[in-house]
Amino acid sequence: MTIIRFSNGDAMSLPLDSDLLRTFLAVADTGNLTRAADAVRRTQSAVSMQIKKLEDLLGFTLFERHSRGVVLTAQGRRLVDNARRIVALLDDTAAALREPALDGSVRIGISEEYINSTLPKALGAFAATHPNVEVTVQQGHSMSNLTSLEAGEIDIAVVFEPGGRTRNEVLMVDPTVWASSDQHGTYERRPVPIATYTHYEGGWCDDLAIRSLKKRGIACRVAYVSRTSSGLIAAVVSGLAIAPMSRSAIPAGCRELTEEDGFGIIDMSNVVLRTRPDHRSPTIDAMAEAIRRAFRGAD
């Protein structure tokens, strides 16, 4: 636990410990006290108490409670960015003090779903500890990243595999689900408009998503086609369509369509970390560990 004091320029300062900020971020990121409790490895009642303590210290409410979970208040949204910077700085400082500085280069291939979420956490922590390492990132779907790994074009690949038992290192299990905008009743239309990926060899099979609708007797029509998950997100946020996406990639303002909505999980996917056994180095191992830590924080 680290104590941080905030001052408003007067004699008064607010002592906030890092545990409170970590719990606050877990609740903000999950929008749910139960999932936040799992993330910080505490009970739900302990999480509630920590949020109440933080609100009492600050003097304002951070979350509004709803039937589906919690939503940040305006004051809560103001705190999020500062809290992230503080926690990241503490983690990076601790890592920098523990590990010797490395040099050289490391090349990473990763799916688009994590390019703007989990990967920046890993890169930020790694750069703080090893500023002399040259890092190169390749964004691509799983098959292209695996091909690049086997060809020696990258050193680390973070890819999707079908759920279940695997010989590879699983970073997290990230179900594929249907996502819809909170502001639009898109999923209630019939036929329901859906957004899908274009077909490419070895990539995501749209048939699996469509099959899940047919099994439930839900008529659908393809309203949007994209090669990237950002395109699918745009279709969902705008209310143009619902789309299959990784649960962790569902953007703000959107939600998972559950069994209560008449939908459900499309498929279970493992997110795995792959390296070349014949090409290891302290630099590659350190980056792999930074990626592991970032995904553990995303669980």
Q: Which two tokens stand for residue 139?
A: 């964004």
CATH level 3 topology of 173-270: D-Maltodextrin-Binding Protein; domain 2 (3.40.190)
**8 A C-beta contact, residue 123 and residue 57:** no
Question: In Å, what is the CA distance from 61 to each residue of 17, 23, 56, 184?
Answer: 18, 15, 8, 28
More confidently predicted of 61 and 277 = 61
Domain boundaries, given as residue ranges, for the chain: 18-98, 105-157+273-297, 173-270
Q: Tell me the pLDDT tens digit for each residue of 45-59.
A: 999 999 999 999 888
pLDDT at 145: 93
Which residues on neighbouring strands pair with residue 159, listed in sequence order?
272
pLDDT at 299: 53
- Residue entry with tokens 């899940």: 212
Q: Check whether 13 has a pLDDT greater than 60.
A: no
Cα 282 from Cα 94, distance rounded (Å)? 19
Among 71-75, 88-92, 149-153, 172-176, the least confident range = 88-92
Tell me what the pLDDT averaged over the chain comes to. Answer: 85
Query: Which CATH code is given to the segment(s) 18-98?
Result: 1.10.10.10
Q: Check whether 6 has a pLDDT greater than 60.
A: no
Give residues with Cβ within 8 angstroms of 252, minimum separation 6. none
Q: Check whether 298 has a pLDDT greater than 60.
A: no
More confidently predicted of 247 and 202 = 247
Amino acid at position 50, single letter: Q
Among 6-10, 154-158, 176-180, the least confident range = 6-10
Which one, of 74, 71, 142, lies nearest residue 109 by Cα?
Answer: 142
Question: In Å, what is the CA distance from 211 to each residue of 205, 218, 286?
Answer: 10, 10, 41
Q: Tell me the pLDDT tens digit for each residue of 208-231.
A: 788 899 999 999 999 998 888 888
Cα 160 from Cα 77, distance rounded (Å)? 32
pLDDT at 188: 95
Q: Do domains 18-98 and 105-157+273-297 have the same CATH topology?
A: no
**8 A C-beta contact, residue 296 and residue 169:** no
CATH class of the domain at 105-157+273-297: alpha beta
CA atoms lying within 13 Å on the CB side of residue 62: 26
Cα 193 from Cα 186, distance rounded (Å)? 7
pLDDT at 95: 66
Which residues on neighbouring strands pair with residue 272, listed in sequence order?
159, 170
Among 3-7, 149-153, 187-191, the least confident range = 3-7
